[in-house]
Amino acid sequence: MCDNHDRLRSNNKDLQSVERQLDRRHFLKKTSLGIGALALGSLLNTEKAWSSIGNSNGAIDAFTRNKLGLPHHLPKAKRIIYLFQSGGPSQLDLFDYKPKLVDMFGKDLPESVIGGQRLTGMSGSQSTLPVAPSLFKFKQYGESRAWVSEIMPHLSEVVDDLCFVKSMQTDQINHTPAVTFMQTGHQLPGRPSIGSWLSYGLGSENENLPTFITLISKNGKGQPLKAGLWGNGFLPTEHQGVQFRSGKDPVLYLNNPDNYDGNDRKKMLDYLSELNTVQHDAYGDPEIQARMTQYEMAFRMQTSIPEVTDTSDEPEHIFDMYGKDSRDAGTYAANCLMARKLLEKGVRFVQLYHQGWDQHIGCPGGVKNKARQTDQPTAALLKDLKQRGMLEDTLVVWGGEFGRTVYSQGQLTKQNYGRDHHPKAFTMWMAGAGVKPGMSYGETDDFSYNVTKDPVHVHDFHATLMHLFGIDHERLTFKHQGRRYRLTDVHGHVVKDILT
């Protein structure tokens, strides 16, 4: 009898497929998922969950929660533009005004201020750490009376829309781990980025474009940027950020090969989908479905990308507002304009990277040059969103991975100084959806070296960002290698004082 069964099994491919699906590993995997889904559904009790939030004005009824039960509460933000200034902008030369430093020019930074903090190897061996006041003049602007450096004249016009967070802190003192930490919540590579978490939790508003898109200023110099910064980590592959490049091919390998008209592309994808469906039914690997989703997205992007990346129909006054560089594809100004267009088309998360803020030497000239490249288009983006009524539900974030030191790295002169990395006190700002406008939150000491009031850690920033999108950062998790992970790891508190 056994011999007959073995012969039957060896000659019957359908039976072999069934047995593969019912082997111990796949049986446990599939049944556990099924039972778990039933249990989760009963535990969530979605109607009860929503009613516990409150619905006095009926606004909550406008939302249909997705399969993850999101949003957890009424969101203020629908979309985000994150203007990442790579290299560590000097808060002392931009936003954190410290007038008392003028009288301390060249004096050694007191040990009581350093307080045993870690220094980098680039300045830790210096015999002295001379105080370097900013060369730039500061003034107060707007009804909020926010202090802004003279090298940011355009941003000074919109300070009443900004919420400055002057008490940011991070755990990392070197670029690669610090940028990774800011973008993924962990200093080591391999974790999902912020955009991937939002894509996974909230999904897309446009099936013809990626949920998460990255734009990098062309000809950037400075610390290198790696794809892991907008990577999906252990989340399903379809939540990977897609980098748009300048030039005629914004997305590589999207166009058809030469001499191929693409008329049978849809038919080919349909056949491929059938093969992938058979494979998925046999093994239940979710990455097979993710790959199918990516193929279908790529097909739709062949028609959607040329339209959304074409700015030729923008009126002259828009180009004038963003500045002359906005006509040069791939510049920071052009990417700011592109970001607004992408949001209009339903892209949820647009990340801009602008390199070159790492001024260890020649800080005054370097930071002034970076301000020249970014000041006007950043302010224009805020004005543009506001005039279109989009700033109400669009979150705009500006900042780098850490700040700079008050002491000079290298030789200090009356006209020049360098600044080393400083993780324990730096400035970021936010604007738009759900953030209090015209506010400065947190304080630093007279040296912009230590936070003296209302510290905000990177984990707190992430928790607050997720909250604005209607997400409880402690509840959006993903199980990987036996543990449930989240963007904020096991940390983070929502900074409620900066929220409307």
Looking at residue 162, its pLDDT comes to 98
Cβ 72 vs Cβ 470: under 8 Å: yes
pLDDT: which is higher, 206 or 449: 449
Looking at residue 12, its pLDDT comes to 53
Looking at residue 51, its pLDDT comes to 40
pLDDT digits (tens, 9 = 90+) for 404-430: 999 999 999 999 999 999 999 999 999
**Distance (Å, rounded) from C-alpha 460 to C-alpha 492?**
4
pTM listed for this prediction: 0.84
Looking at residue 249, its pLDDT comes to 75
The two three-digit tokens of residue 459, written as one number: 């984990």
Which phi and psi (to 5°) does residue 142 adopt?
Answer: 65, 180
pLDDT band for position 250 (50/70/90)? confident
Looking at residue 403, its pLDDT comes to 98
Looking at residue 438, its pLDDT comes to 98
Per-residue pLDDT, averaged over 438-448, amounts to: 98
Average pLDDT along the chain:
87
pLDDT: which is higher, 259 or 90: 90
- According to CATH, the topology of domain 79-250+315-498 is Alkaline Phosphatase, subunit A (3.40.720)
pLDDT digits (tens, 9 = 90+) for 177-211: 999 999 999 999 999 999 999 999 999 888 889 99
pLDDT over threshold 50, residue 126? yes
Cβ 436 vs Cβ 426: under 8 Å: no
- The answer for residues whose C-beta is within 8 angstroms of residue 432's C-beta and 6 or more apart is 77, 161, 385, 391, 392, 393, 394, 395, 396
The two three-digit tokens of residue 464, written as one number: 């607050």
Cβ 329 vs Cβ 247: under 8 Å: yes
Cβ 202 vs Cβ 474: under 8 Å: no
* Closest among 139, 137, 144, 176 to 159, alpha carbons compared: 144
pLDDT over threshold 80, residue 226? yes
Which range has the worst mean pLDDT, 48-62, 231-245, 420-434? 48-62
Domain ranges of the chain: 79-250+315-498
Q: What is the DSSP letter of 58?
A: S
pLDDT over threshold 70, residue 27? no
**Distance (Å, rounded) from C-alpha 405 to C-alpha 419?**
5
- The answer for residues whose C-beta is within 8 angstroms of residue 456's C-beta and 6 or more apart is 165, 167, 168, 169, 441, 442, 495
pLDDT band for position 16 (50/70/90)? low
pLDDT digits (tens, 9 = 90+) for 328-372: 999 999 999 999 999 999 999 999 999 999 999 999 999 999 999
